[in-house]
Structure 1
């Protein structure tokens, strides 16, 4: 399955706690779209969130975010894992 990294910019900032809650919502919704959210990273200072996800398409990954909590990524990149 393709692997994607999405990037969110949260105006006004973001906390790790808020992102953890959003991630839990993604995990509850992801099975409906054959998506698997794997990990996330947060830069609180710059209001950035990065999510690593296995999904059949970028749109499927975005749909999970939209339905789970409404925070759709600004950009989604298909990536390949390296060492």
Structure 2
């Protein structure tokens, strides 16, 4: 299954607890779309969030965010793991 990195450029009011809660909601919804959210990273100061996700396509990854919490990524890029 393809691997994607999504980027949220500016999430207003971003906190570690808020990102964790949003990720937990993603995990609750992901199976419906055949998606598996793996990890996330964030920077509270800038409001940036990065999510790593296995998904059949970028729209499926976006659909999980849309349903889970409404914070759809600004960018979703297919990526490949290196060694």
TM-score by length of structure 2 reads 0.95
Map 1:1-83 to 2 at 5 A: 1-83=1-83
How many residue pairs match? The answer is 83
SS at match of 2:37: strand
TM-score by length of structure 1 reads 0.95
Q: Which runs of 5+ in 2 are unaligned?
A: none
CA contact (8 A) 1:13 1:45 kept: no
Shift of 1:51: 0.0
Whole-angstrom distance in 2 between the partners of 1:14 and 1:55: 25
Whole-angstrom distance in 2 between the partners of 1:30 and 1:11: 21
Structure 1 stretches of at least 4 aligned residues deviating more than 4 Å after TM superposition: none
Whole-angstrom distance in 2 between the partners of 1:11 and 1:40: 14
CA contact (8 A) 2:11 2:48 kept: no
Q: Which runs of 5+ in 1 are unaligned?
A: none
